[in-house]
């Protein structure tokens, strides 16, 4: 009996000492952080207005970020800056009356109605993108940043919603060139990009924990947040390669292999201040972390092959139509048969159309996994505005959890 008690006490002491040395699971393998594992791709309002299709659509400053082959023969294009704001669940938010509450000064009531629009499972709340892009003579450079607030709700109680704040910075360099197979008839565009990506995201915070943090008058909420919330940060250097086969009458076939070498090396820090002290050389405030979570992990979403067909006939200067059909991750369709192949093809196909009118207005429409999208682009000299309203599937199967989104992008200089 004494030996049993001694063993029990020893095990308890070991657990008490060892437990703080084991970091909580902040990897994408944890369902709450699943979305953090997606390869980085900035919000492209133009493409989303076309249902997510556009691998072979050339002539825009950011075309090479989707397909490096679009750099081939590129003219000088410069966008400083391009800023995109994306809000999710806009229809539910408008119907909830939360905006009216905020306007009336009822912050608590507005927040409650806002969070009540969040449903069980994965989701997004708000995303802000900013970029500077330059391309000339087959070369392309892009600097991108993104602030994203993701959501995860395990049950039906909205106060248990986990808000996960993520900041990503990426630098992309690329080169593309053209090979003429049959002069003036058939040619091939080839291109490759390398992207350095650094992402950080905070431990998920529930709505109730945030309210308690703000209501705690015994300490400074900002100081407590910077010292008390663990953070995961790390980098990857993915490579993307693309090709376009160009035919007469504006037809082209595209193939893009993306996320080669996409392995992320991540580290967990006890707090944002600890991360800043190690990475930036100084903390935001006095570094007094209240926790000691630490550790490292790696993850890789794997490489994928996308294919597309684009038709961009030249029928005059007043009207310029584009039709695009893309199939995402075509390798995953291998081995599927009958109904499984039909469902897989349907869920991975993107259809889009765009018509440019009078050289300053674009009207767009698309189907993404069967969900409709609409978009519009307006060019006024060096000012460009793009808007898209669309739906994305966040569930495991089509129809499980579609979320609507509204993206607005403002850019200067080249479109």
What was the pLDDT predicted at 10?
A: 42
What was the pLDDT predicted at 354?
A: 96
Give the dihedral sign, CA 52/58/60/64.
Answer: positive
Nearest to residue 212, comparing CAs of 203, 224, 201, 200?
Answer: 224
What was the pLDDT predicted at 233?
A: 96
Please tell me the pTM assigned to this model.
0.89
What was the pLDDT predicted at 346?
A: 84
- 355 with 320: CB under 8 angstroms? yes
Q: What is the rounded distance in angstroms from the CA atom of residue 111 to the CA atom of residue 120?
A: 18
CATH numbers and ranges of domains, the chain: 24-413 (2.40.160.40)
pLDDT in tens, the chain (415 residues): 445 444 444 433 333 343 344 457 889 999 999 999 999 999 999 999 999 999 999 999 999 999 999 999 888 999 989 999 999 999 999 998 888 888 888 877 787 888 888 888 999 999 999 999 999 999 999 999 999 999 999 887 777 888 999 999 999 999 999 999 998 899 999 999 999 999 999 998 887 777 676 666 666 777 778 888 899 999 999 999 999 999 999 999 999 999 999 999 999 999 899 999 999 888 888 877 777 788 999 999 999 999 999 999 988 778 999 999 999 999 988 877 778 888 888 889 999 999 999 889 999 999 998 899 999 999 998 999 999 999 999 988 888 899 999 999 999 999 8
Q: CA of 208: how far to CAs of 116, 161, 163, 212, 215, in Å?
A: 13, 9, 11, 6, 10
């Amino acid at each position: 009996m004494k030996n049993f008690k001694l063993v029990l006490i020893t095990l308890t002491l070991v657990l008490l000492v060892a437990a703080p040395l084991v970091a909580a699971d902040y990897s994408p393998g944890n369902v709450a952080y699943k979305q953090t594992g997606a390869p980085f791709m900035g919000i492209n309002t133009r493409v989303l207005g076309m249902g997510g299709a556009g691998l072979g659509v050339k002539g825009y400053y950011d075309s090479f970020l989707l397909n490096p082959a679009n750099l081939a023969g590129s003219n000088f294009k410069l966008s400083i800056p391009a800023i995109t704001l994306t809000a999710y669940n806009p229809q539910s938010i408008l119907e909830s009356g939360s905006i009216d509450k905020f306007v009336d000064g009822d912050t608590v009531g507005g927040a409650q109605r806002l969070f009540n629009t969040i449903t069980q499972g994965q989701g997004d709340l708000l995303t802000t993108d900013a970029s500077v892009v330059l391309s000339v003579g087959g070369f392309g450079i892009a600097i991108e940043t993104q602030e994203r607030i993701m959501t995860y709700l395990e049950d039906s109680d909205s106060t248990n919603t986990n808000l996960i704040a993520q900041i990503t910075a990426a630098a992309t360099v690329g080169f593309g060139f053209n090979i003429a197979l049959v002069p003036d008839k058939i040619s091939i565009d080839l291109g490759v990009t390398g992207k350095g990506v650094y992402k950080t995201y905070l431990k998920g915070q529930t709505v109730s924990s945030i309210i308690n943090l703000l209501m705690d008058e015994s300490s400074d909420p900002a100081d407590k947040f910077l010292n008390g919330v663990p953070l995961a940060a790390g980098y990857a250097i993915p490579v993307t390669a693309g090709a376009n086969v160009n035919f007469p009458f504006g037809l082209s076939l595209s193939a893009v292999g993306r996320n080669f070498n996409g392995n992320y090396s991540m580290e967990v820090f006890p707090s944002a201040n600890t991360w800043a002290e190690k990475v930036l050389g100084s903390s935001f405030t006095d570094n007094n972390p209240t926790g000691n979570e630490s550790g490292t992990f790696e993850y890789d979403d794997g490489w994928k092959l996308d294919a597309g067909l684009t038709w961009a006939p030249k029928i005059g200067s007043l009207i310029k139509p584009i039709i695009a059909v893309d199939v995402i991750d075509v390798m995953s369709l291998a081995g599927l048969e009958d109904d499984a192949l039909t469902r897989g093809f349907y869920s991975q196909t993107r259809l889009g159309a765009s018509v440019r009118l009078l050289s300053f207005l674009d009207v767009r429409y698309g189907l993404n996994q069967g969900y409709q999208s609409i978009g519009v682009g307006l060019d006024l000299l060096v000012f460009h505005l793009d808007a898209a309203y669309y739906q994305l599937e966040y569930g495991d199967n089509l129809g499980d959890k579609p979320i609507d989104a509204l993206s607005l992008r403002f850019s200067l200089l080249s479109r």
